[in-house]
């Protein structure tokens, strides 16, 4: 039994006081640090801020990314990779097939492009007649003529283009970027996907995989009147009532998380509710294309049926990055119809000429206006713009006028944030069938994207199932010649 001390300066009492005072100060300091880092999980604390801005590994050249994804995949030899030999030898059989490598393994005769090509800009880049607006911007673009991938089916190829692997379960590049850098705008998502008709493969192609679910994108459907599902509150619910409900929910979730501190998705759940609440006021404004001037809307093509969908997507993408959204991936559609099903508008199996005229018409004016708009606003230097599909198309014919899938060669271009304009990198063979010079794989593309955002692709890792994973796995080289 220890009687209560009566002396005001009792040594035992002072030791006890100093012990508790010291621990108390340490606890306060720790709580402050945890709150700053967004890791404090208590009923009274704010929700964890997993999407708060984080410092890059080194000074970035780009602050945000707009990836213009062309589902179905444009034909490289009908868009940007001009092949005079293909035009000369139309209808002939390719020779020198090698079954082991897939080089020149074809089923039809050589098919010349139905489009006229011309050189443009000081760089002299060749551009098909289907892109009169994009042709005006070639000196801002770096063309990659030697891209290749590993699958000739849409869904696995799109998975590979987004995540580096053609199987489900790996995080896509947008999720990796927001995991590494967070978001500049805490009232909007860090990663947004804009789509019309759902592309082949659906939402798994932009999945966060094993990363915490807070890094998954917000998908915005541009083809109906409700861009974001389940965002608007019930009409009968007043704001103070909704806030009270969220506070109670946050308290319960925080108590649940306190017993499971290593469950990352619990923290993501806490943050997702709060983000959705903040988005109710911020998102409608950011997505309201009608706030743009009539001249701007007409420049993008909002007033034309053929270009309306992609025009709205491109304006929305610009408005989002303008407000601090880190990564926007836009899946360009054609408003349905025209040489292919709506979800794969560039898939010209039966008639490459008819298909590509319609698909190109839907994107040429909007994307040209996007580049011009970003440049006029001083945003292009800090916004990385990427254009391309999931693979290329064959040099020989499928049927009489179409082209089949071809992962051996395709063309992409990049512009803006840290890209050296007017560069023409790599080459495919004389018929555009296979990448042969300075070949660019998907890991190389991803490494370069991360580098321009200030992230070292070898250091951006996440531990899962006892292993440190990264977007580029064990590969990936920077595409140095295209860097400014």
Domain ranges for the chain = 64-231+301-482
Q: What is the pLDDT of residue 345?
A: 85
Position 261 confidence tier, pLDDT thresholds 50, 70, 90: confident
Residue 54 exposed, middle or buried by CB count within 10 Å (0-12, 13-18, 19+):
middle
Q: How is domain 64-231+301-482 classified at the CATH fold level?
A: Alkaline Phosphatase, subunit A (3.40.720)
Whether the per-residue pLDDT at 341 is higher than 80: the answer is no
Average per-residue pLDDT for the chain:
84
- Say if residues 142 and 415 touch (Cβ distance below 8 Å): yes
Q: What is the pLDDT of residue 185?
A: 86
Q: What is the pLDDT of residue 338?
A: 39
Percent of all residues in the chain with a pLDDT value above 70, rounded to a whole number: 75
User: What's the rounded Cα separation, in Å, for the pair 10 and 60?
Assistant: 60
pTM of the model: 0.82
User: What's the rounded Cα separation, in Å, for the pair 327 and 321?
Assistant: 8
Between 66-80, 189-203, 219-233, 333-347, the lowest mean confidence (pLDDT) is in 333-347
Overall average pLDDT of the 274-295 stretch: 79
State both tokens at 261.
């501190």
State both tokens at 274.
């709060």
State both tokens at 472.
């580029």
Overall average pLDDT of the 198-209 stretch: 92
Alpha-carbon distances, residue 355 vs 72, 114, 197, 389, 451 (angstroms): 11, 11, 17, 15, 36
Q: How many CB atoms lie within 10 A of CB 57?
A: 17
Q: What is the pLDDT of residue 4?
A: 41
Q: What is the pLDDT of residue 285?
A: 85
Length of the chain: 484
- Say if residues 246 and 273 touch (Cβ distance below 8 Å): yes
């Amino acid at each position: 039994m220890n009687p209560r001390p009566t002396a005001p300066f009792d040594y035992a009492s002072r030791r006890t006081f100093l012990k508790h005072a010291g621990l108390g100060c340490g606890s306060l300091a720790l709580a402050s640090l945890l709150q700053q880092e967004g890791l404090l999980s208590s009923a009274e604390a704010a929700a964890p801020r997993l999407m708060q801005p984080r410092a890059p590994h080194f000074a970035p050249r780009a602050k945000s990314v707009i990836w213009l994804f062309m589902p179905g995949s444009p034909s490289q030899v009908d868009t940007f990779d001009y092949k005079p030999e293909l035009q000369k030898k139309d209808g002939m059989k390719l020779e020198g097939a090698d079954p082991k490598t897939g080089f020149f393994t074809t089923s039809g005769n050589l098919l010349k492009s139905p489009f006229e090509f011309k050189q443009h800009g000081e760089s002299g880049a060749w551009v098909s007649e289907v892109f009169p607006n994009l042709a005006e911007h070639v000196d801002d673009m770096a063309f990659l003529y030697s891209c290749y991938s590993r699958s000739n089916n849409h869904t696995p190829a799109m998975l590979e283009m987004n995540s580096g692997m053609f199987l489900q379960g790996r995080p896509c590049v947008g999720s990796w970027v927001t995991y590494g850098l967070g978001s500049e705008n805490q009232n909007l998502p860090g990663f947004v996907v804009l789509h019309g008709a759902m592309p082949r493969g659906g939402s798994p192609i932009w999945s966060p995989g094993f990363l915490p679910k807070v890094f998954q994108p917000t998908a915005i459907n541009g083809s109906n009147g409700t861009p974001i599902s389940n965002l608007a509150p019930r009409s009968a619910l007043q704001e103070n009532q909704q806030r009270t409900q969220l506070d109670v929910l946050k308290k319960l979730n925080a108590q649940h998380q306190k017993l499971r501190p290593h469950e990352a998705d619990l923290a993501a759940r806490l943050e997702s509710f709060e983000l959705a609440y903040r988005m109710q006021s911020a998102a409608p404004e950011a997505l309201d294309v009608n706030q743009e001037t009539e001249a701007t809307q007409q420049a993008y093509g909002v007033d034309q049926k053929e270009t309306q969908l992609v025009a709205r997507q491109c304006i929305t993408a610009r408005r989002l990055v303008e407000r601090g959204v880190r990564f926007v991936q836009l899946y360009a559609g054609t408003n349905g119809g025209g040489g292919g099903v709506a979800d794969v508008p560039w898939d010209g199996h039966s008639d490459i000429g008819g298909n590509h005229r319609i698909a190109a018409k839907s994107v040429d004016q909007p994307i040209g206006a996007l580049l011009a708009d970003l440049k006029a606003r001083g945003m292009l230097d800090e916004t990385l713009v990427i254009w391309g599909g999931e693979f290329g198309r064959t040099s020989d014919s499928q049927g009489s006028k179409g082209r089949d899938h071809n992962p051996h060669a395709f063309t992409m271009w990049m512009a803006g944030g840290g890209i050296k304009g007017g560069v023409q990198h790599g080459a495919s063979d004389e018929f555009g069938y296979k990448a042969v010079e300075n070949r660019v794989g998907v890991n190389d593309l991803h490494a370069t994207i991360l580098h321009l955002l200030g992230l070292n692709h070898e250091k951006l890792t996440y531990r899962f199932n006892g292993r440190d994973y990264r977007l580029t796995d064990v590969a990936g080289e920077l595409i140095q010649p295209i860097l400014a």
